[in-house]
Structure 1
Amino acid sequence: MTSNVSDPVGLAKSADAVAARATDLVKIYGSGDTQVRALDGVSADFAKGEFTAIMGPSGSGKSTLMHCLAGLDAATAGTVHIGDTNLTELSDKGMTQLRRDRIGFVFQAFNLVPTLTALENVTLPLDIAGRKADEEWLSTVLKRLGLTDRLTHRPSELSGGQQQRVACARALAGKPDIIFGDEPTGNLDSRSSGEVLSILRAAVDEFGQTVVIVTHDPRAASYADRVVFLADGRIVDELRSPTADSVLDKMKSLETSGVEAEH
């Protein structure tokens, strides 16, 4: 199945409703016999105010797609837009500024600075940018994430779930256009994982944020409005209003067809 059948990834949406857009993205690593085509002509829209999960078998290109969308990696060909900004036309300085001012990140490794308090970690990107936090917004985020009594604690004094909540607060603090999560629950137990996913869901429902995560976990994907499936560097399907079971069934069929294709 190709990515343009029945517009499976929302390309028909108007530009002003799109938070991020990939168009004909190609990403090639290496050359000659060792060349790997991680992305093979991917086109997809990610709507504003929507929670999207990107899934696929190991090596399908899902993390590469997210890294290209977030400006952490440059595509070999094709274009990426955040809103109406074409990332491929930005200078290094412009790219740094865009990532700092318009994108929030939540990674599997919490990426907190050990010598800073929870609050200092949350406001760090704003401090670096020389921007003042919107106190009302920050207070709302910290309260919603249950961090108000942990603000003076350093990361070593927090549980894994609390550290990831700090990372979520940091991603939300600057009111970014879009939040990207790369396996954001990968290092967490099921209870902490559920907390963090609920927070990302609330960011969409209560704060009107746009969230895109890469995950291998059907339960995590079930929190999303939409799941986009990759295989061999191409978008092959999507699910709306996913459940853990429907995602698991789709993943099984993708992995089975992948095995069949190899024989």
Structure 2
Amino acid sequence: MACVELPVGCQNPGGSVSVSAPHIHAAAQAVAASKIYGSGDTAVRALDAIDVSFEQGRFTAIMGPSGSGKSTLMHCMAGLDTVTSGQVLIGDVELSQLSERDLTLLRRDAVGFVFQAFNLVPTLSAIENITLPMDLAGAKGDGDWIDEVVDATGLADRVRHRPNELSGGQQQRVAVARALAGRPQIIFADEPTGNLDSNTSAEILSFVKRAVTEMGQTVVMVTHDAVSASYADRVVFLVDGKIVDELADPTPERIRAHMNQLGA
């Protein structure tokens, strides 16, 4: 059996943690996952017994009306929040079974994040931002892979520049490269092009799609935009905390039709 980099199981000399596991087709999944905020009459059920699986090597978009639970689902799937009941798994690791330390290690080693606000450290260069998670973990990283990611994002001539010397699109490229650099099992992206113009958004999303098709990455993206979602292999639709529909091989027109049917 292959050794999968996850924060449970045997400890490696370099400090990362491994677990022996069979090949898993789902990079992440939720089983009867519910999230309730508050209690009694003021309780809000943000997620309602959701069952969903995100296949390895696929690009999935999550869409739905405002307040439908999109970001809550992503945060729970990524281990940034906890479900009230049910299960969330990254690979075959059930998140609720992890200690806080092991959950932190899993987020560091197995999960990548890209957010609308680029979240770059202003005093660091582009390459220092890209390698920051590995540097904080005391891990060297795969230099050849990092070079490939930098070349693929078109940042090779900008790696010594600080964020304030980069355009918004270049800063988001750095953020995407940072998410890819550690070769995580899955990347979660929350409105990653929300602050970008349409041309720059198209460039970023085209690269994300190439990362999936050419690099074998798994990406789950929350978006409200039909054009952005059309870059995905599959769109999952949420309403009132429930998955109500999904669409394969989406186009902007088909996505808009589905959203109109859902009253969004």
Number of the residue aligned with 1:162: 170
Matches within 5 A, 1:1-263: 16-255=24-263
**Higher share in strand:** 2
Quote the sequence identity (%). 63
Provide the secondary structure at the position in 2 that maps to 1:255.
coil
Unmatched 5+ residue regions in structure 2?
A: 1-21
* 4+ residue segments displaced more than 4 Å: none
Greater shift, 30-39 or 218-227, is seen at: 30-39
Q: C-alpha distance in 2, partners of 1:254/1:36?
A: 20
What is the TM-score with the length of structure 1 in the denominator? 0.91
Secondary structure in structure 2 of the residue aligned to 1:16: coil
> For the residues of structure 2 that align with 1:76 and 1:185, how far apart are their CA atoms?
30
Corresponding pairs, count: 243
Per the alignment, residue 5 of structure 1 pairs with: none
Cα distance in structure 2, aligned partners of 1:113 and 1:33: 42
Q: CA deviation at 1:15?
A: 7.4
216-225 vs 27-36, which moves further: 27-36
Q: For 2:259 and 2:48, locate their aligned partners in 1 and report how far apart those are by CA, in whole Å.
A: 20
Distance between the aligned counterparts of 2:30 and 2:185, measured in 1? 16
**TM-score normalised by length of structure 2:** 0.90
Structure 1 residues not aligned, in runs of 5+: 1-13, 257-263
